[in-house]
Structure 1
């Protein structure tokens, strides 16, 4: 679940930490950002593993796919869940980030799955896509809303699909929330203010986040055959990685939101994102990972 475009095309607000605006100058730190995003993606996969598996089991497939294409694969959350669900399939994982794809290949080797995974580094906003075969299943999780022209990308997916193939589109309602509404005690509602501070950036640069993809799929020549919403609410007491997930996520949000927060909110956010401090969000027992995923299944 990664931005499927090259780093040069990735907007600063979505990378949440890789770019820092100083007046009219923009300074990029792609290596650090790539690693930080990879950590969030890995934790997302770990915490939401059961929900991801449930989505894949729900897919209205006529037969088990032999070739699966994972668009915007990130560090492999979807890739490995798909390999587990379909033990005879091979997966082609496509992403813009060489660092993410390297991490994915290393995991595949460690799991003994290297012979079933191929990786392709590609910018899916480019005029031409590389040769990606004729997949039975195309999987795109949290990647389509990054496209500069989603309609063009959907038409390309339609043309790629095998005649009997299925396209599975998974999108997020937004970044997960972790804190109770009345937390932290000194700045209640801080998390929502952080999200509000970045919402206008998302609206300007990623306008398709949270869209109803049904009409877009139909316009691209696809027929929607299934749709569902998956609600996630995982307490820190239920999963040991929720605290680390919250810490990594809030650290990335902090950079994007910092210039829009008042000093008291920023100070409170700094206390929450200080991993070694007594106020670290990772130490709170009242955390929960709360979010939604929308899923569409479509055919040619």
Structure 2
């Protein structure tokens, strides 16, 4: 009988690898080449302590398919963290959520000012797409055809972070009343949070060479996990208190749905299963 999967150990190793990649690939601030402390501002937010959950999910999806976690895969999945970080920098601005603290530290605009925070977010977003392109170049160095999955990864990232996903969800959150039904909450969460989670898992699948059926299953996992994650986050923050009971039930249902999506995968999908089961325990 095999030993139970050690999620904590897996996360510790993978997160350390992600942190090292982010640190190494993000430019270093040199005063003469960092006007307005732009790079310093980008590094301040990106390298602050975080869960790195989105790149973790991308790597776990590649692992589920038995693909080696080579440099192109690592770079492409790390790019998702840049998009997530940009969204946090912009969300914290006075014109958005007007938050003073993020991860226990002053938010970017409190340290560098509103204008530089906007530019730092812009820099992180555009750099993310550069990283995916670089990953494609690395993967196709000897075989040009190997760049194609990274083109699809670029499309997925643009779709999830833009008008069909995260930006649309933020606009809905700002422009509409707070959700009063679970359907409204699900729709908001699917756009604002779920889209990027789904993209993280699907990008990991695509660059790992997933067959259509495998990709579809992993996309279902990512979608269910992402919406469940936001329900768990709302419960922890006491958001939408009137829906708390329904949100707990929905969280349980969605994490079960995520686990079912992995039925066609073997032991290599243990990290994904364990991540979903850990989320379910927050209900």
TM-score (norm 2): 0.27
Which has the larger share of helix? 2
TM-score (norm 1): 0.26
Which has the larger share of strand? 1
